[in-house]
Amino acid sequence: MPKISIIIPVYNAEKYLEECLLSISQQTFTDFEIWAINDGSTDRSLEILKKYQAKEPRLHIIVQENKGVSAARNLGLENAQGEYITFVDADDWLHPETLKQYIEIAKNEEIDIVISQFLTEKSREKQSPSCIKSFDRKEIEQKIFPKFIETDVYNSVCNKLYRAELIKKTNAKFPMGVRIAEDAQFNHQVFSPAQKIAETPFKTYFYREVQGSATRNVVRNDYWQSNLAIYQYDYQKYFGNALSENTIHELKTKRFFRSIMALIYIYWNPKNQLSLFQRFSKIREIVNHEVVKKVFSDNTLQKDLGRYDLAIFKAIQSKNILKLYLYTLYSYYRNS
């Protein structure tokens, strides 16, 4: 039985797939298997996988019709034989010591989940895995669970090593038919019963942003609906035994508040791909939504806001779209 199973969902990834596979083959820790799930690719991805398999016997290929990343990862989980599981996306790559660092931490500390950091640029410089933080059950409840609600910092599955037994015990699956937060919802399932977690400052995973900035992706990504869904998500289901209902509500309200403030800037930003009419319609939809009106009726959220943010806050409260447009335009040109 291999020590680690690496699961890679592959969909039209011909441009970067070989680099991804090479970074795995070059790992200094070698006791692993790779499960590449070709999710109905229409480019050369499957051809690249088969060619690479000829020289990499640890690579296993599964072909399915296009069902999405969640289905691909779930299929990988069904076939994985490793004691530990990690996930890699086909257009990303790993630092050569990633698996070595994972195993040394997990084995020595009897850890359920290891969390590492992302590489922000392509660098293979030597790193020190010092200052590893361990969290027992009480600390997981006090420090990790709140982070899942108020930020995205722990959401990704790609910078983590999971004990396979924990995944099996919880019957954790990636959700099907959802548009957002597949990673987060999987993590909620496996983190909620975890007894010990370790976080290393070691940068193991290079994430490649291939689609451009947020302001240029407003057509492809409905950020408003995504943030609304996150606010309405049932955190109580996974964290309710550790966090009170009031605490969960407070954390997700503050997050939603920050998100709406940021969305106003994104949608009014002159660089985005929407027409002026489309931007106006989206802002009107946001400020008139019942959830937004309820959240922004809480004046305690004004605390510690700067002058600009306070002006945006009050304009949202009063649903003054013209002021929101002028304030955002002023901020954009002032900072450009």
Give the tens place of pLDDT for each residue, 163-211: 999 999 999 999 998 767 889 999 999 999 999 999 999 999 998 876 5
Residue 218 reports pLDDT greater than 60 = no
Angle at alpha carbon of residue 184, lines to 33 and 37, rounded to 5°: 30
Q: For residue range 307-333, what is the model confidence (pLDDT) as tens digits?
A: 989 999 999 999 999 999 998 888 877
Res 108: pLDDT = 80
Predicted pLDDT of residue 127 = 63
| Residue bearing tokens 């020289």 | 55
The predicted structure's pLDDT at residue 37: 99
Q: How confident is the model at residue 238 (pLDDT cuts 50, 70, 90)?
A: very high
CA distance 294 to 304: 20
- For every residue of 14-80, DSSP letters joined together read TTTHHHHHHHHHT-S---EEEEEEEES--SSHHHHHHHHHTT-TTEEEEEE-S--HHHHHHHHHHH-
pTM of the model: 0.89
Task: Flag whether pLDDT at 157 surpasses 90.
Answer: yes
User: Can you tell me the mean pLDDT for 255-261?
Assistant: 93
Q: Which of 107, 105, 128 has the alpha carbon at shortest distance from 115?
A: 105
**Residue 245, SS3 per DSSP:** helix
Mean local confidence (pLDDT), 222-233: 89
Phi/psi for 172 (5° steps) reads -65, 135
- Is the pLDDT at 53 greater than 60? The verdict is yes
Q: Map out the domains of the chain with their CATH numbers.
A: 4-206 (3.90.550.10), 214-335 (no CATH)
